[in-house]
Amino acid sequence: MRNITGPPVVGDDFFGREEEFNYVWSRIVNGNNHVFPSPRRVGKTSFAFKLLDKAKSEGWNTIDINLEKSATNEIDFLEAFVKTLQELSFWEKIKAKGNSLLNFISQLRPSFTIGGAEAKLEWERERESVYSQVADLLHHDEKTLIFFDELTVLLTKILKSDADGKKKVTNFLHWLRSLRQVKDSKIRWIFCSSVGIENFTHQHGISDAINDVPDFFLKSYSKGKSMEMLAKLGHDNNLPLEKDLQSAVVDKLEYCLPYFLQIIFEKIKYLKEIENQPLEIKIVDKAYKGLIEEKHFNTWVERLEEQYNHNKQFAFAVLKQLCQEKKGLKRKQIINAIAAAGVPPEKTDEIVSLLLYMLKNDGYIMEEDGIYRFRSPLLRDFWFNRHVK
Ligand SMILES: Nc1ncnc2c1ncn2[C@@H]1O[C@H](COP(=O)(O)OP(=O)(O)OP(=O)(O)O)[C@@H](O)[C@H]1O
Ligand SMILES: [Mg+2]
């Protein structure tokens, strides 16, 4: 197992999640689709890749599209989607239809992107027919696992594409839903979304378009599992860690995502090998302090800026307060914090409810017995460092 701190991990680099994997795979085999709505870096894409590998090894067709990379608009998406069908076992049967549709889409594309009024009209005229022709290409009697990564990124782009964005995104989600509703279909769908899909659909009143796809939240690792992972990382990367050091790392992180274990391991290795620090318990604190100064959590700041619209300043206010309280705060205290940030008194209740809901969905905070606090101490200390200190 290599010490990988960025791209999705596959094969021998993937550690753990055995129970979650068996559970989700058997749900898929039994006819369910899933969305993995966890925040950035929880390990969604790696987990989805593992499901795709399993599906392949069982003779399924698989489709894998990263919507963040390959789709800036609907036409891009439709084209990318049809192109992935070319690799599948049933392409021969649909080749003629598929190729002519690809041709047609590529003729629409330049006009769509240049965006002249006439050209846009043409796409608008053809839109429904293109969507239904793409739907027609799918063979529902062949076992197929389709994975769309970062679905909400495409939804946001469609939403913002023009004044009619909301209608378009609603139609898009309903189109996807209709593909999932085909009777006796052997196609299964998995979606990942680090930008909260639930927040997105809820905010725009379109939760019903995805309510047939259950969530599956990937968990952090238990203390035992985390120590096992550290032991394996140490063994395979020439930096064996004693049990007390493994234990100190886990106690420090508290909330152990495999990503956090990978980055702290990397930091310890750096301190030992480049800065000649002795491999003692003290090195854990040093590594942790190093991490909260770095860029690992920038996306968490950016997400508030991009997704929380006019409530972002209040979301910042809540988190600013929470990052100073290790033990957490009650709702009443949070209300006081956002009142101080300028929310009009008659609105505080409504805004706090929405923000706590969104921040929980997005993985920033958790709630236990009416107390809200940061889910990860590492993220909390990063936040403190960046926004308070
Ligand atoms: N099962 C695993 N075993 C080992 N490391 C893992 C595992 N899952 C995730 N990681 C670590 O987390 C990092 C991110 O994984 P991945 O890209 O799958 O997460 P993600 O949730 O899709 O992230 P993003 O939301 O940014 O796309 C990997 O580079 C690796 O360091
Ligand atoms: Mg990912």
210 within 8 A of 177, measured Cβ to Cβ: yes
Flag whether the pTM goes above 0.85: yes
Beta bridge partners of 64: 147
Instruction: Count the domains in the chain.
Output: 3
Q: What is the pLDDT of residues 22-74, one digit of tens each?
A: 999 999 999 999 999 887 889 999 999 999 999 999 999 999 999 988 777 88
320 within 8 A of 301, measured Cβ to Cβ: no
Q: What is the CATH number of the domain that holds 135?
A: 3.40.50.300
Residue 3 resides in a domain = no
Q: Is the CB of 42 under 6 A from ligand 1?
A: yes
Q: Are residues 197 and 248 in the same domain?
A: no
Residue 217 resides in a domain = no
Which amino acid residue places its CA nearest to atom 25 of ligand 1? Answer: 40
Q: Are residues 162 and 23 in the same domain?
A: yes
Q: Residue 150 CA: which ligand 1 atom is closest?
A: 27
Q: How far is the CA of 246 from the centre of ligand 2 (A)?
A: 27
Q: Is the CB of 321 under 6 A from ligand 1?
A: no
CA 331 to CA 352: how far, in whole Å? 8
Burial degree of 221 (CB within 10 A; 0-12, 13-18, 19+) = buried
253 within 8 A of 260, measured Cβ to Cβ: yes
Predicted local distance difference test score (pLDDT) of residue 110:
64
Domain end residue (candidates: 292, 316, 343)? 292
Predicted local distance difference test score (pLDDT) of residue 124:
81
Q: Is the CB of 258 under 6 A from ligand 1?
A: yes
Q: How far is the CA of 14 from the centre of ligand 1 (A)?
A: 9
Residue 5 resides in a domain = no
Which amino acid residue places its CA nearest to atom 15 of ligand 1? Answer: 43
Q: Residue 68 CA: which ligand 1 atom is closest?
A: 27
- Cα separations (Å) of 224 from 3, 151, 231, 375? 19, 33, 11, 19
CA 91 to CA 232: how far, in whole Å? 42
Q: Are residues 42 and 103 in the same domain?
A: yes
H helical segments located in the chain: 18-29, 44-57, 67-70, 74-85, 91-114, 117-137, 151-161, 165-180, 197-203, 223-236, 243-253, 258-273, 282-292, 298-307, 312-322, 331-340, 345-361, 377-387
Which amino acid residue places its CA nearest to atom 19 of ligand 1? Answer: 43
Q: Are residues 59 and 188 in the same domain?
A: yes
Beta bridge partners of 34: 190
Q: What is the CATH number of the domain that holds 323?
A: 1.10.10.10
Q: How far is the CA of 333 from the centre of ligand 1 (A)?
A: 35
Nearest to 308, CA basis, from 257, 359, 348: 359
CA 380 to CA 292: how far, in whole Å? 9
Residue 48 resides in a domain = yes
Give the Cβ contact number of residue 299 at 10 Å.
14
Q: Residue 49 CA: which ligand 1 atom is closest?
A: 18
Q: Residue 40 CA: which ligand 1 atom is closest?
A: 25
Nearest to 21, CA basis, from 49, 56, 61: 49
Burial 46-81 (b: 16+ CB within 10 A, else e): bbbbbbbebbeeeebbbbbbbbbebbbebbbbbbbb
Residue 157 resides in a domain = yes
Predicted local distance difference test score (pLDDT) of residue 336:
87
Q: How far is the CA of 53 from the centre of ligand 1 (A)?
A: 16
User: For the sheet containing 371-374, what is the strand order?
Assistant: 329-330, 371-374, 365-368
Q: How confident is the model at residue 218 (pLDDT cuts 50, 70, 90)?
A: very high
Q: Are residues 34 and 173 in the same domain?
A: yes
Residue 319 has pLDDT above 90, yes or no: yes
Residue 7 resides in a domain = no
Q: How far is the CA of 38 from the centre of ligand 2 (A)?
A: 10
Q: Are residues 77 and 193 in the same domain?
A: yes
21 alpha carbon, closest ligand: 1
106 within 8 A of 79, measured Cβ to Cβ: yes
- What does 184-251 look like in DSSP terms, one character per residue? T--EEEEEE-SS-HHHHHHHTT-GGGTTTS-B-PPPPBPHHHHHHHHHHHHHHTT----HHHHHHHHH
Residue 196 has pLDDT above 80, yes or no: no
Q: Are residues 288 and 306 in the same domain?
A: no
Q: Is the CB of 16 under 6 A from ligand 1?
A: yes
Q: Are residues 88 and 111 in the same domain?
A: yes
φ, ψ for residue 222, nearest 5 deg: -65, 170
Q: Residue 5 CA: which ligand 1 atom is closest?
A: 31
Q: Residue 38 CA: which ligand 1 atom is closest?
A: 21
Predicted local distance difference test score (pLDDT) of residue 344:
82
Give the sign of the dihedral formed by CA 248, CA 283, CA 241, CA 6: positive
CA 116 to CA 112: how far, in whole Å? 8
Q: Are residues 280 and 308 in the same domain?
A: no
Q: Which structure tokens are listed for 241?
A: 């860690």
State the amino acid at position 183 in one-letter form.
K
Lowest-confidence segment of 77-81, 296-300, 369-373, 381-385 by average pLDDT: 296-300
Q: What is the pLDDT of residues 250-292, one digit of tens each?
A: 999 999 999 999 999 999 999 999 999 999 999 999 999 999 9
Average pLDDT (300-320) is: 88
Q: Which of 9, 44, 54, 65 to mutate to test the pocket of ligand 1 (most atoms within 8 A of CB)?
A: 9
Residue 204 resides in a domain = yes
Give the residue, 341 or 333, on which the prediction is more confident: 333
Residues 6+ apart with CB under 8 A from 198: 37, 207, 215, 361
CA 339 to CA 269: how far, in whole Å? 45
Domain end residue (candidates: 209, 237, 258)? 209
Q: What is the pLDDT of residues 96-127, one digit of tens each?
A: 999 999 999 888 776 555 556 666 777 788 88
Q: Are residues 231 and 160 in the same domain?
A: no
Domain end residue (candidates: 209, 234, 265)? 209
Residue 227 resides in a domain = yes
CA 52 to CA 66: how far, in whole Å? 14
Q: Are residues 168 and 184 in the same domain?
A: yes
Lowest-confidence segment of 258-267, 324-333, 358-367 by average pLDDT: 358-367
Segments forming the whole domain that contains residue 277? 223-292
Q: Are residues 174 and 240 in the same domain?
A: no
Q: Is the CB of 262 under 6 A from ligand 1?
A: yes
